[in-house]
Every structure is written in C-alpha cells, then in structure tokens.
Amino acid sequence: MSGSDTDPDITDSDSDVDVDVIADEDESIETETETETPEKTDTASANAKLFGEWDVSEIEYEDPSTQRYITVTPIAHTMGRHAAKQFEKSKISVVERLINRLMQTEDNTGHKQKTMNIVEDAFDIIYNRTEENPVQVLVRGVENAAPREETVRLKYGGISVPQAVDVAPQRRVDQALKFIADGTQRGSYKSARSAADSLAQVIIGAANYDVQSYAVGQKEESERVAEAAR
C-alpha cells in the first residue's frame, strides 16, 4: 500500500480540464436560455388570438368616451382574477364580460365553459354572415347599444319624480352588455333558434344600429324616457 491516496491514473491537469469544460457548458446553456426565452414569449404574445382564431391587435373604436372601458384581449377566462377589486372589471376583456353576463340567465348559471362555447359559435356565425372580425363587430355593437341618458327617481314631499341623468361611461358599457344578453335569452328561450344564433343576430343588429334589434331598441327606449323627464 502506497503512502498516497491519489489515483495514479488521474492527474491535476485532467481535473482542471474537466471542470473548465463543465463550466463552459453551463455558461452556454444559461446564455441560450436567457436569449431565447424572451423572444419566444414576445412571439407567443404577439401571435395570441381569441379562441385561437380571432386577432384582437387591430380593433378600432368609434366612441372615445367608452374606449377606455371596452378592453379587448386574447384571454376569454381570467379565473376571477379581478372579482374582489372595485372597478377592475374594466380591465377584463369585453368578450369575457359578455360571457359572464350570459351566465346570469337561469339555464347558464355557473356553466362558464358552456357559455364560452355559445360565444365562440356565435363568433363563427357572425364571421360567416358579415365576413368581418367578430370581435370588431362586438365592439361596434356595444358602442351602439350603450345608452347616453337614463332616469332616476327623486322624492319631493313623498312624491316620486323621474329625473333625466347622464350615464357614466362604465355604466354605458354595462348596460349595453345587459341588453345584448337579455336579447339573446329572449330570442332563444323556448325557441328552435340556438343561443349562439340568437346572440349573433343581436350583436349584428346592434353593430348595424338596427332599431329592430333588442339591444338598440332598449337603448332608444331608455333615452326616450330620459328625454321626456328633462
């Protein structure tokens, strides 16, 4: 037995070379990770589409008063991220807000995936009928169905008197989505028409400012009553 515990087949120079090679490989892996990951993330974000089909990067707005509150993103389900924060709903995509509003009907309560499928099918119908981006059609429909005036009741000596008031931009968007959802439910309840077809018809009618459309009709009625109460 020799006095040294060192393996005679391994030298100090060989150990140094192995360590240097491993270090170089680790540095190259880290460099590739740092340089490639942001590029892949940016590319994925730029190419993201709503329902994997509809581009939301070139949506145009006609009403500047509601533009801030009609948010459009490629995400249709944020998992209730903003549910507990006041006024944070304006940061949620208008498509998801429409889905949530449709869920408030009796048949769709709590069925988020079912309602998302209805909206997705409605977008396909809108595209087939108009040959436009259905997200753009929805934005235009919300703008057209948003009432500018409504009434409140004031009491004077025990007598209720209606008074016309201007509608805040965020409430205008809320009311437009409510009118669209109500029109969808009315058009498909106990009817052979599907909910997706009814939704598509209401959105297209609102986008074209068709007074026969339920959403536009409700907006006109609200403004007519407010005008009489001035």
Using pLDDT thresholds of 50, 70 and 90, give the confidence band for residue 82: confident
Using pLDDT thresholds of 50, 70 and 90, give the confidence band for residue 47: low
Output the pLDDT for position 26: 52
- The stretch 154-162 carries a mean pLDDT of 88
Q: In whole angstroms, give the CA distance from residue 38 to residue 31.
A: 12
Using pLDDT thresholds of 50, 70 and 90, give the confidence band for residue 46: low
Output the pLDDT for position 33: 43
- The stretch 97-106 carries a mean pLDDT of 85
Output the pLDDT for position 172: 95
CB 165 within 8 A of CB 150: yes
Comparing 73 with 17, which gets the higher pLDDT? 73
| pLDDT > 70: percent of the chain | 79
Residues 108-130 pLDDT 10s:
777 888 899 999 999 999 999 99
196 Cβ neighbours under 8 A, 6+ residues apart: 118, 119, 121, 122, 125
Kindly list the domain boundaries of the chain, sorted by start residue.
Answer: 51-147+169-224
Output the pLDDT for position 20: 52
Q: In whole angstroms, give the CA distance from residue 93 to residue 29.
A: 38
- The stretch 202-228 carries a mean pLDDT of 94
Determine the straight-line distance between the first and last CA of the chain, rounded to whole angstroms: 110
CATH of region 51-147+169-224, choose from 1.10.455.10, 3.40.50.720, 1.10.10.10, 3.40.50.300: 1.10.455.10
Output the pLDDT for position 32: 46
CB 178 within 8 A of CB 147: no
- The stretch 147-167 carries a mean pLDDT of 91
Output the pLDDT for position 76: 78
| pLDDT > 90: percent of the chain | 49
Q: Output the 3-class SS for 14-67.
A: HHHHHHHHHHHHHHHHHHHHHHHHHHHHHHHHHHCCECCCECCCCCCCCCHHHH
- The stretch 211-228 carries a mean pLDDT of 93
Is pLDDT at 197 greater than 70 in this prediction? yes
Average pLDDT, the chain: 81
Output the pLDDT for position 175: 95
- The stretch 1-26 carries a mean pLDDT of 50
> Of 7-11, 26-30, 186-190, where does the model show the most confidence?
186-190
| Residue that has been written with the tokens 């540095």 in this structure | 27
